[in-house]
Amino acid sequence: MRPPTPAALGLLLLLLPPPPGETAKKATPCKRCRELVDKFNQGMVDTAKKNFGGGNTAWEEKALSKYEFSEVRLLEIMESLCGSSDFDCHSMLEEHEERLEAWWLRLKKEYPDLFEWFCVKTLEVCCSPGTYGPDCLACQGGSQRPCGGNGHCSGDGSRQGDGSCQCHPGYQGATCTDCVDGYFSSLRNETHSICTDVDECAAETPPCGDQQYCENVNGSFVCEECDSTCVGCTGKGPEQCKECVPGYTKESGQCAVGAGWNPLGKGQRIHRPRWASLRRASRLLAGAVLLCFPAARGLTPDASVKLRPLPLFSNEMFPIFGSLCASEL
């Protein structure tokens, strides 16, 4: 492919139509410069591959090694810099084409970082990383580690901003080295400060109520209500109950009304007032008598009758009744 001449390229730029409506927000000069440099560097990567493709004859190899520093390669890179409808990019490129060419042909060795040379030193639209504002002053906390590495420096790398720090969650202070409430300092030396979230839920006295579970979040904690089938719980839902409310038993890990007991049918849960009726009380009494015999003989619930109709007598209760009954008999 025959590369276009610089003149043709210039003409092409002039003839390109303006963008179809200025919808995109106007980028700052620094941002545009940075984008241009990023594309330029990408162009260098892309064209670098050409060194290794297809060059078989001695003549081609020689031509390719020449290509590496050639104007032909520069033009190929330049061609890839701006999107076809990116007017700002094209006008910027047009304005600074000669500078880029000078860098490419003569200054690249001395200033290998194109961003530093082009955007910071030459056009003066950006600052080096860690510096801000018209005079590129060091950010709060120094240009090496702005904001202690725990925040964003206002205007970092641009000619704007005031160099103040916007700290990441958990950090505060002018240089983001102090911890906010709910965080504790887990490391601090001359250069580094690390704040770590306090796990309030792990405290010796749990911060939530008996019918709540504790959830640790960054900088704080929340207490959430247990499932209505639980007496105390370790988390959300009927699977996380510590114990079940009367009328419910642990069934495949969650508190549920036993299938044989539930007049509404399997899967539906009902709430009953405790000890609400005489009928229920008498049924419990009858159950206790029935239970005595197998329990006193040390039979496990599985081996004896199903205790499902007597939800009060959970498996944990069985040994208690066992010894109780044994002493009575």
Contact residues for ligand NAG, defined by CB under 6 A: 169, 187, 189-192, 217-218
Nearer to ligand NAG, 96 or 168 (CB): 168
CA distances from residue 243 to 15, 210, 229, 250, 272 in whole angstroms, order as listed: 78, 12, 9, 8, 17
Q: What minimum distance in Å lies between the beta carbon of 218 and ligand NAG?
A: 4
Nearer to ligand NAG, 80 or 218 (CB): 218
Tokens of 132: 């801000």
Q: What minimum distance in Å lies between the beta carbon of 190 and ligand NAG?
A: 5
Nearer to ligand NAG, 173 or 322 (CB): 173
d(CA 306, CA 62): 92
Q: How far apart are the first and last CA of the chain?
A: 106
d(CA 246, CA 228): 11
Nearer to ligand NAG, 217 or 270 (CB): 217
Nearer to ligand NAG, 196 or 268 (CB): 196
Amino acid at the residue 63: A
Report residue 139: phi and psi, to 5°: -65, 165
Nearer to ligand NAG, 218 or 277 (CB): 218
CA distances from residue 128 to 110, 112, 137 in whole angstroms, order as listed: 17, 14, 9
Contacts of the segment 110-113: beta carbons below 8 A, 24+ positions apart:
none
Q: What minimum distance in Å lies between the beta carbon of 191 and ligand NAG?
A: 5
Tokens of 60: 């081609």
Q: What minimum distance in Å lies between the beta carbon of 208 and ligand NAG?
A: 18
Nearer to ligand NAG, 122 or 175 (CB): 175
Q: What minimum distance in Å lies between the beta carbon of 196 and ligand NAG?
A: 9
d(CA 325, CA 297): 9
Amino acid at the residue 30: C
The H or E element that residue 152 is part of is strand 151-153
* 147, 33, 30, 38 alpha-carbon torsion, rounded to 10°: -20
- Exposure string for 90-100, b = 16+ CB within 10 A, e = fewer: bebbeebbeeb
d(CA 81, CA 38): 9
Q: What minimum distance in Å lies between the beta carbon of 189 and ligand NAG?
A: 4
Nearer to ligand NAG, 58 or 187 (CB): 187
Q: What minimum distance in Å lies between the beta carbon of 16 and ligand NAG?
A: 45
Q: What minimum distance in Å lies between the beta carbon of 217 and ligand NAG?
A: 5
